[in-house]
A = this chain, B = another copy of it.
Amino acid sequence: MIKQVSLKDIAKKVGVSTALVSYVISGKEKDKKVSAKVAQRIRQAAKDLKYQPNAIARSLRKGTTKTIGLVIADIANPFFGQLCRVIEDEAQNYDYVVIIGSSDEDHNKSELLINAMHQRQVDGFIIVPAENTIEQIQDIIQKKIPVVLVDRYFNELNTNYIVLDNYKATFNSTLYLIKSGYKSIAFMAYKSSLVHMMERIRGYFEAMSQSGLTDKINLIELKISNTQNIFENTLNKLLTSDKKIDAIIFANNMLSIAGLHYLHKQNIRIPEELAIIGFDGGDCFDLFYSPITYVKQPIEDIGKEAIRTLMDLIHDGSNKTSHIILNPELVIRNSC
């Protein structure tokens, strides 16, 4: 690493103080009334020396880094991958940079990440909170660092959040299946105390019971840590039971993809033998021999709203709390 060009080098070359150079470089000449010709010489020198400001020094002085910390729940999940992309792109429009970490749904890892980002003085957080991370979020709030939760939130905490209307998502999906003549509809979800999962389950329950199908309710809850093997055994047991399942709704895309893998392997005909509704979408849903009907989240909007909310918080220091709940879309194809 070679010694880099600093303000001082430019100042020396032009024969002025670093203050002048700083004014010109940061575009404040107008206010400070730096003479046009001095400004010109400074700009020229900066170009000649290929000056690049040291953002670290500026950050230390100004107390702001133009950096956002993004903690997602699972980097292996394409849904979050896409979300990262949107957020990154969007942040760039505001001249912010994003540093990303995956908690892998583990609260210890989450804490490590949040601390590392905090040490790096991020100006704000966007977090997809894992289970048992309430205290971590509380700590951030207490330090008055702007934070917005995404995809999930805690009822106990009055935070900004952007989430899907998860209840509506599964309520509508279930109803759609029922209207299409399916009755014995199973629901595969993760066992979780997190509100998004509970809401998805509630949507399914409500739709079933409101349709007089309470006795057909069949909720399968898997642990996130379960392997594809356990997953397939469970699915196998479900499908070979005497309950005669005629449809399955998967509560997120990891479950959907795992499910499709199994059904594909077993050569179970969709929708003839079994109807399917997936979650979150993706190329595989489109390219499946029988394109999959699924709940589509407005990822673009989620990301944009998250950044917009965070920027409001950072810039206006606004003290309102935003709860933004976005509508799901049921994309209807051939799988049911």
Mark A residues whose CB is within 8 Å of B.
1-2, 4, 50, 52-57, 59-60, 63, 65, 75-76, 78, 81, 85, 88-89, 92, 97-102, 115-116, 118-121, 139, 143-145, 257, 260-261, 264, 282-284, 286-289
Contact = CB atoms under 8 A, between A and B. Distances in A.
B52 A119 contact: yes
A52 B2 contact: no
Given A92-B101, A99-B99, A261-B287, 9 more contacts: A1-B145, A52-B115, A55-B121, A56-B120, A264-B286, A282-B284, A284-B286, A284-B287, A288-B289
A118 B52 contact: yes
Contact of A2 (B116, B143, B284): B143
Given A81-B81, A88-B100, A257-B283, A121 B56 contact: yes
Nearest to A59: B56
Contacts of A288: 287-289
B60 A75 contact: no
Contacts of A50: 139
A139 to B, nearest CB: 8
B282 A283 contact: yes
A263 to B, nearest CB: 9
Contacts of A89: 75, 102
Contacts of A56: 56, 59-60, 65, 120-121
11 contacts: A54-B60, A54-B121, A56-B121, A57-B60, A78-B78, A81-B85, A88-B101, A97-B120, A98-B99, A98-B100, A284-B286
Nearest to A63: B1
A85 B75 contact: yes
A254 B118 CA distance: 37
Which 9 residue pairs of A and B lie closest in terms of their CB atoms, listed nearest first? A289-B289, A55-B119, A283-B284, A284-B284, A2-B144, A55-B120, A284-B287, A75-B85, A56-B121
A282 B282 CA distance: 11
Nearest to A145: B1
Contact of A143 (B4, B60, B143): B4
A54 B284 contact: no
A55 B76 CA distance: 28
A116 B99 contact: no
A282 B261 CA distance: 12
A266 to B, nearest CB: 13
A76 B65 contact: no
A145 to B, nearest CB: 6
A85 B92 CA distance: 20
A170 B100 CA distance: 35
Contacts of A283: 257, 282-284
A59 B67 CA distance: 15
Contacts of A92: 101
A260 B257 CA distance: 18
Contacts of A54: 60, 119, 121
Contacts of A264: 286-287
A119 B53 contact: yes
Contacts of A118: 52
A153 to B, nearest CB: 22
